[in-house]
A and B are shown apart, each in its own frame.
Chain A
Amino acid sequence: MALLEIRNIVRRFGDFTAVDGVSMDIEAGEFFTLLGPSGCGKTTLLRMIAGFDSPQSGEMLLDGKDLASIAPEKRPIHTVFQSYALFPHMTVAENIAFPLRMRKLGKGEIGERVRQSLEDVRLTDRGGRYPGELSGGQRQRVALARALVNRPRLLLLDEPLAALDMKLREQMQLELINLQKEVGITFIYVTHDQTEALALSHRIAVMNGGKVEQLDEPSKIYDSPKNRFVADFIGTCNLIDAEVSVAGEEKMVLQIRGLGEVAARNPGATGGAKGILALRPEKVRIAAQLAPEDDENHFKGRVHDFLYMGDVTVYIVEVGDGVHVEALLPNSAAGRPRILAVGDPVEIAWRYDAGTFLDG
């Protein structure tokens, strides 16, 4: 039995359906992420799990028990808020002691657990400070410590790193992964940042318009997006209109207007189906000249434009009759004489299974 079972949850605000029949199982010990653009319903879903909001229909079972019958303050679920929501009139130690005091634990035990908790988040010398005197990263750690000190069954994190700058965010991501491993508590993490989701999670539910578009491991989400939305939302992706001309067992041939025939992996489409070819730029090889290889699509074209990013260069290559394909070239690529210029003739190639055909 899953730790948290979510069954057909629906939440409407007037005419707007924020969460539209979402079901998912979250396993104990998992780092689970709800990923999606703003307004996709991920925060609403999180608030319903915490108990700040109630669904119009559907149910949520924690350890098999219906959450609807448990008041928010009685649920063994704690939340790390986006704004941290630390109590400004309490010291760091008092903030962390708060959930313990609500449970009416003894003074000695509270003191001991607060001390231990401060140690866990490396803030031992900050216990007497007020939240206003801490840096963003420190506040973040206090919020984590406060939410974890009670050992909840489930920890909800609502975009907890959104307010931090990029360097600190990367560092906090590593800390979060380690912390989750250490405490073994199930995390449900809400974010709109796809790199964060890919880096942190065991599993990701990509949400859009109140529905789950795809629920899978990070690598599956990235490599085999189920539909156009997921392919487009996660990372960058070439999305090229295509029509299935020959559908084989595992391989298929697509007809692309202005480019001709392209081989791709067949996820189960039938001949004549219309859709798109999703192709990650980093899976496209690019060079002035490329030796053809087996199972590859090979095209000649011209550099239409490029973006120098430091570590990589993104080339937009025009192939065939006005079809643009993005390709990524690491700037460390050995034997590369120079950066290709706009208008240079180039060749691009990709293995047939690098591209996925998506219906619709």
Chain B
Amino acid sequence: MAKHLGKWLISGPPVLYLIVFFVIPTCIMVLASFRYAGEYGGLAPVLLHDASGAHLNLTLESYQEFFSDFIYSWLFIKTLVYALVTTFCCLLMAYPLALLIARSASKYRDLLVLLVILPFWSNFLIRIYAWMILLGPQSAFSAALNGFLGIFGVGPVRLLFTPFAVVLCLIYVQLPFMVLPLYANLEKHDPALLDAAQDLGANAWQRFWRVTFPLSLPGIYAGVALVFVPVLGIFAVPDILGGTRGIMIGNLIKQEFLEARDWPFGSALSIMLTIGAMIIVGGAALFAGRRRSGDV
């Protein structure tokens, strides 16, 4: 009994915290997605009272709206593509970086990791606004790029308020979240394995693809999840840098809650996003799990 008590004293508070601030709000949101919008925003009451007594005031209207216009699905697909491109580019850039840190002398490693997380020390929004200046039409970067393109007779391009600006900034924002789990994984690799591979006839290319890469898959999965999922719901970056062409599903959800004041539809969009993310991440985890147990 006392043993169980100790266990509950330790795990109780975080479980309680998650129930109060995660499980219950999720349930509220699921419920909200089936309710009617209130006349002045907010939500209409769940129970309606009339002559025949009280009855439930729920509807599938929000979900009907979602599927009735392809524009919503299209926004989902577009968000998905942004997230995939961001994740892929982050992986491509973070892997060599993480490998470099993991293979550098141990006295420099902590310093290099510190440099990776250094951007977190300044405010998220400030960093995004900085990109606005960097990509703006008067910036040195734009001028240099357009000057270069001009040599080949390509007209000046606009960088700001484009999908390009959004993805570029998303990569910038999310890169540390890919580097850190990859580094944590790569740093644990036993260097004797690479010696063994070389000893047994593997060249540098083979040593990477047959030893380092397969052993780093758990780190890759963790990094992909940490980058991919938050990007799906992000709205600040497209809000500031995306203009009208660069908006994502997160912007729409925010709009439904704050500007359109259609809470049920906003909730429905959120639920659809959560389900979509779960299907993708769950499917990937299942695939990864099967690979790791060697069934493939």
Chain A residues packing against B (C-beta within 8 Å): 50-52, 72-74, 77-79, 81, 83, 85-89, 91, 98-99, 102-103, 130, 146-147, 150
Contacts and interface: CB of A to CB of B under 8 A. Distances in A.
Nearest to B292: A89
Interface string B195-222: 1111111110010001100110000000
Contact of B198 (A73, A83, A89): A73
Q: Which of B200, B211, B214 has the most chain A CB atoms inside 10 A of its CB?
A: B200
A130 B295 CA distance: 13
Contacts, number: 59
Contact of B199 (A50, A89, A103): A50
A81 B294 contact: no
A81 B203 CA distance: 19
Interface of B is mostly: helix
Contact of B192 (A74, A81, A99): A81
Contact of A85 (B192, B206, B294): B192
Contacts of A88: 215
A216 to B, nearest CB: 29
Classify chain B: how many residues form its interface, as a range: 10 to 19
A88 B292 CA distance: 11
A73 B215 contact: no
Given A88-B215, A89-B214, A146 B200 contact: yes
B203 A87 contact: no
Nearest to B196: A85
Contacts of B190: 83, 85
Contacts of B214: 89
Nearest to B293: A130
Given A73-B201, A130-B294, 8 more contacts: A78-B200, A79-B195, A83-B192, A85-B192, A85-B193, A85-B196, A89-B214, A147-B200
A89 B215 contact: yes
A93 to B, nearest CB: 11
24 contacts: A50-B195, A51-B198, A73-B198, A73-B202, A74-B201, A77-B199, A78-B199, A79-B196, A81-B195, A83-B190, A83-B192, A85-B190, A85-B193, A85-B195, A88-B215, A98-B197, A98-B200, A98-B202, A98-B210, A99-B200, A102-B202, A103-B201, A146-B200, A147-B200
Contacts of B199: 50-52, 72-73, 77-79, 147
Given A81-B196, A83-B190, A85-B192, A150 B201 contact: yes
Interface string B178-203: 00000000000010110111111111
Contacts of B196: 79, 81, 85-87
Contacts of A73: 198-203
B294 A91 contact: yes
A207 to B, nearest CB: 22
Contacts of A146: 200
Nearest to B199: A79
